[in-house]
Amino acid sequence: MAVAGVAAYLISEQLLGHETPLFAAVAALIAMGFTKEPRLRKVVEVAVGCTLGVLLADMLVLGLGDGVVTALIAVFSAVMLARFLDPGSMLAMQMGLQSLLVVMVAVPPDAALGPFTRSLDAVVGGATALLITLITPKDPRGEPIRELRAVAEQFTLALRETAAALQTSDSRQAWHALIRARGLQSQVDETAKALTSAKELTSFSPAHRRHRHYVRRIEHTSDKLDLAVRSLRVMTRRAVSTIDHATLSDSGTVQLATVLEHLAEASAQLGQAARETGPGFDRWMNTARDSMAAVATRLHPRRLDIHDLEGEALVLLARTMVVDLLEATGCDHDEALTYLPDL
């Protein structure tokens, strides 16, 4: 933000010859935004919004002249435009302030473009922010990897809690697993946002284009893990009912809990793959695929000594979840189905 603001000011002052180009610096700072991961699309939207806000105020000053009424119309229009671009309050406040300054601060008498010199300064500020966003050396893979790893870790914990709840016939622990699984959705949404930002940077930034294939693979893994999370919520909720009604035999309970524990170990390997950005990614993905395939071959009610309807429902839900997890490791749908025993 500091570099963007000062650079935009110097470009307008030294290269374009504008006197005190305040709006170039302000537009650059607003467009960059105070976020850990500047999104390219958001930078463009805000830069365009700032420029339009200044241009709108310049046109009002040119048509209506200075005055309280002009200031009121300019600030109101700028705030409404800001709210259209971003529901947050910061952008509305900053654009409103810019419009107010446009109306209240006199235009230098020797300005080359008259009142529209400030609009050009806003364009310079937005372009500077966009350029810095594109060339900054920050690795776009970092945030998606951290978010995906967090989802995988919580998914693994929820599976282990479900397995332990079945093993001990503790429905309270199953409820804890269900609460954890429900809480995963917000993390899944954050992963999707981080991936959107990473895809934008790898698509348009020359410094990051080499990472675009990896980001696409991570996105595929994230999409399939999202489906697995949804299946986990349904299965965990069903497990609570199964434990409360004691519908599983002792043998069936032990075997199903063991299968879920093995599946948790496989999902932990998937989380380990998300930590790797080089050859280790493929190696851990292959390991996770083999582990999940081994679990899939056991998912038949008779093989698990399950003979009642509620237990069979748990197995069917586990089968759906395993298919999603196998696809997350790189299998296509038909290949994932081949690991499941016929019903």
- 13 near 28, Cβ under 8 Å? no
Quick one: pLDDT at residue 47?
73
What local confidence, expressed as pLDDT, does residue 13 receive?
A: 85
Give me the mean pLDDT over the 302-330 stretch: 90
Confidence of residue 207 (pLDDT cuts 50, 70, 90): low
Pair 267, 155: CB distance under 8 Å: yes
Res. 110 pLDDT band, cuts 50 70 90: low
Give yes or no for a contact between 33 and 43, defined as CB atoms under 8 angstroms apart.
yes
DSSP 203: H
The residue among 204 and 37 whose pLDDT is bigger is 204
Give the pLDDT confidence of 137-161 residue by residue, as tens digits: 666 777 788 888 889 999 999 999 9
Mean pLDDT of 261-284: 85
pLDDT tens for 99-109 read 777 777 766 66
d(CA 57, CA 75): 8
Residue 114 confidence (pLDDT) above 70: no
Kindly state the percentage of the chain with pLDDT values over 70. 91
Q: Which domains does the chain have, with CATH numbers?
A: 1-135 (no CATH), 141-339 (1.20.58)
The pLDDT, as a whole number, for residue 249 is 82
Mean pLDDT of 245-272: 88
Residue type, 77: S
**With 60 as the cut, is the pLDDT of residue 37 above it?**
no
Confidence bin at 264 (pLDDT 50/70/90)? very high
- Please determine, for residue 203, whether its predicted confidence score (pLDDT) is greater than 80: no
Q: Are 273 and 200 in contact (CB under 8 A)?
A: no
Q: In this predicted structure, which of 6-20, 91-105, 248-262, 325-339 has the lowest mean pLDDT?
A: 91-105
Residue 139, H or E segment: none
pTM of this prediction exceeds 0.85: no
Q: Distance between CA 35 and CA 101 in Å, rounded?
A: 25
Report the pLDDT value the prediction gives residue 108, as an integer from 0 to 100.
65
| Terminal-to-terminal C-alpha distance of the chain | 60
Q: Is the pLDDT of residue 38 over 60?
A: no
